[in-house]
Structure 1
Amino acid sequence: SLVLLIDEYDTPLTECLDDPKLFLQVRNYLSKFYSILKSNDTALRFLFITGITKFSKTNIFSALNNLTDISLSTEYGSLLGYTHKEVEEYFSKYLSCASETLKVEREELLNQLTAHYDGFCFEENAKQKVFAPWSLLHFFSSPERGLKDYWFESGGKPSVLAKYLQSHTLRDPMYYGKEKALALNILSGSSDVENLSDVGLLTQAGYLTIKRIQGTTAYVDYPNLEVRTAMAQLYLEQMLRGRTVEQIGAGNIAYLLANENAESVYHNLNHFLRGIDYRAYKDFKESSIQSFIQIYCAGAGLRARTEVHNNKGRSDLEVRSGFRHWVFEFKLVKDGESPEKKLREAEIQMKERSYGLSETHLEIKRMALVFSLKDREFVKWAEIL
């Protein structure tokens, strides 16, 4: 008897999404192939097929209609990754070695690994979380490198997503970092080539994962810091029209925040903002600035949070880099309004509401910035001591 394993069955189709005639030809070839399997099913002991997108109009599996879809099965929820228990049990020596190499307590290291590489959920009860094997194994092979981002390079931009982004845009950057809802049957059902959902596709591609289920609704978000960084990189590509931050004259924001002064950060943020395609983002709000800067920082691997609450209010953006904790307050000024007045408002607000002062173990850097809608850049700044 024959065991047949087919990985990424949909790749031949997603490679030609932009060519309907070729797509049809490939579909027909694949359909014939699966028809042959059906006619010889007595010779098959086991057939296992993986893929990202399940197309509904291709009729690829119309002949092979005895398949069992286990995509969201709770029984197989840990099939495609390592559980927390498995990591502790089977990688115990590697954890100890990495702990010694990085001079970090074993428990703290496991917490860091969980934040960076864990969190993927592939079952409909949203109870089982798993680590990404590729990233975790790469870390264990070279722990001296630290917690690097491996997922994006290993296939974090599959062809179906690349093709989709050629003719579609991601949601507005204001949606970055927010939990998203979609019908559970979108994840378990099939997709039309013409009507691929951005949230559904990002979930199938691994950028978003199931966080919780409420009735027939799935709430999805980024599984971990590594994927959050990869998503920010996708947004940056879109916002900068395919250019890198270096190509538009902006620097490594992680290095600048960790080592440079507030004035350098001010000028660098303006370099970044000037590189954004404003034809695609015309309606600026204060929340738009928050999202743009958040994505810029996240794309550099930093954990940037918007609307951070304390007992007196909420700051616009907070981000940690090295031994520094930066707190930003943004104000928008329209034509005819006084930038100086807006700057004073931001300064008073940051002082009275004690933004960021709870991070006593780090060097606190607080900065007020005024963005001009007319000039499309920051025109005033001040460092709050």
Structure 2
Amino acid sequence: YFEILMAQSEVTLPKDKNFGGFSSFIYWLGLQPSNSVVVLIDEYDAPLTVCMNNPELFDFVRKKLSRLYASFKNYEGVIRFLFLTGITKFNKTSIFSELNTLTDISLSPRYGSLLGYTHEEVVEYFKDYLNRSAKASDINSEQLLDKLVFQYDGFCFEETVSKKVFAPWSLLSFFAEPERGFKNYWFESGGRPYALLEYLKSHALRHPEEYGNLKSIALNELSSSSDIKTLSDVALLTQAGYLTLKNIVGTTAYVGYPNEEVKTSMAQLYTERLLAGRTVEQVGADNISYRLATENVEAIFHLLNKLFSSIDYQKYPIRDEASIRAFVQVFFSGAGLSPIVEHHNSKGRSDLEVKVGTRYWVFEFKVCKSTNGAKDLLNEAILQLQRKEYGLQEQEEQILRVALVFSLEKRKFTEFSQCD
């Protein structure tokens, strides 16, 4: 808040001045008398998001909130500073019609690093934690920092797309217990905001085939207020922190997952959508990562069939190889893995590859409309793995190359073979 007030007042703070607290600092600036108040409201939209799917109740609450903020306008003479945060940006004219002096700093470059730790701040202020955590992780501090960037960094909240920050809760949670490894703290810290969960009750997520792709959205859709009826999934996911700014071209913003932690969290949400609200444990396909690291090809064949037999086919029909790749990518990503779809080598591109421990899996999928041609498609997939040499460029201890044929008629994999 000091930074905001100093920037707005354009006053230079004397180095020898001891203010003794926030109140005396404000008073020194001469903004308001000493008996005025500071109003801080976190998640102003919480009363609205809990009733997003009840239009009548939503409108009732909206009117009540509008009266509240109108009272702030009436008493602005005794309010030194008012600061509001929220996830969604509901229509300003319907809620803040009276309180029309607010300054929206959501995409302002000046405040782009306000809500997280920058890379430079982590290096400067967390040096002892980095060294201690590196020792606990049995790697050097530079390697640790790279892993932290991959796992928890990457959030961008300003329109020049030049400032990236770490998620504070995730980073601090890791430093508190580095011996636990790089856990997913996102959901623990509100990664499933009520607004998102309520939205998903009446709106489906984008098709899982879009899971790994950058999404585009008009920049003004992020900077302007939204109506409950016209709120888009991309806008809400960006506001909730699942997607973050990656690039801006003209008036179009391109958004994607900020880091591996959020990417995994998003895959878990997609998985729940695919499995009609169930978890992988509930369909008998838990411990995906462990099974890929320890079990044989036949076991993985049955594992995938448990997952695919549980998919909500009415909402998410499997049509082709692209669907198969996308769904497997989502399942593996939700298990904390980093699968690569259509991985290129000098001779072509495989369907999906994933590293698990000392193993490197290469999958080639074929889709059969009837069971009659399944054997021929299996042989075709095996020949493709052999001729294109998929996965052989990797320097891993064990490379497992697998051909799989999915039957649209039976809605499961019917043929599999491991390729030498």
Contact 1:27 1:58 in 2 (8 A): no
Q: What do the CA deviations read for 1:285-307 (whole angstroms, capped 9, x no partner)?
A: 10000011111001111111111
Q: Which amino acid aligns with 2:48?
A: L
Distance in 2 between the 1:383 and 1:145 partners? 35
Distance in 2 between the 1:279 and 1:305 partners? 27
Q: Which moved more, 1:226-235 or 1:23-32?
A: 23-32
Q: What do the CA deviations read for 1:22-49 (whole angstroms, capped 9, x no partner)?
A: 2122112111111111111121111111
Please list, as runs of the form range in 1=range in 2, the aligned pairs for 1:252-291 lying within 5 A after superposition.
252-291=287-326
Any idea what SS the aligned residue of 1:126 has?
Answer: coil
1:57: Cα distance to partner? 6.7
In the other structure, the counterpart of 1:313 is 348
Distance in 2 between the 1:174 and 1:336 partners? 25
1:251: Cα distance to partner? 2.7
Aligned pair partner of 2:75 in 33, 40, 65:
40
Contact 1:57 1:193 in 2 (8 A): no
- Structure 1's consecutive aligned runs of 4 or more residues displaced over 2 angstroms after TM superposition are none
Q: Which moved more, 1:352-361 or 1:105-114?
A: 352-361
CA RMSD of aligned residues (A): 1.1
Distance in 2 between the 1:361 and 1:334 partners? 35
1:194 and 2:242 matched = no
In the other structure, the counterpart of 2:58 is 23
Q: What do the CA deviations read for 1:65-87 (whole angstroms, capped 9, x no partner)?
A: 00100000001000110000000
Any idea what SS the aligned residue of 2:97 has?
Answer: coil
Distance in 1 between the 2:197 and 2:245 partners? 22
In the other structure, the counterpart of 2:250 is 215
Q: Which runs of 5+ in 1 are unaligned?
A: none
1:383: Cα distance to partner? 0.9
In the other structure, the counterpart of 2:179 is 144
Please list, as runs of the form range in 1=range in 2, the aligned pairs for 1:96-245 lying within 5 A after superposition.
96-245=131-280
In the other structure, the counterpart of 1:335 is 370
Q: Which runs of 5+ in 2 are unaligned?
A: 1-35
Q: Which moved more, 1:280-289 or 1:180-189?
A: 280-289
Q: Which moved more, 1:240-249 or 1:356-365?
A: 356-365
Any idea what SS the aligned residue of 1:220 has?
Answer: strand
Question: TM-score scaled to structure 1, two decimals?
Answer: 0.98
1:60: Cα distance to partner? 1.2
Aligned pair partner of 1:55 in 90, 111, 120:
90
Question: TM-score scaled to structure 2, two decimals?
Answer: 0.90
Distance in 1 between the 2:128 and 2:215 partners? 38
In the other structure, the counterpart of 1:2 is 37
Give the % identical residues: 57
Distance in 2 between the 1:226 and 1:26 partners? 34
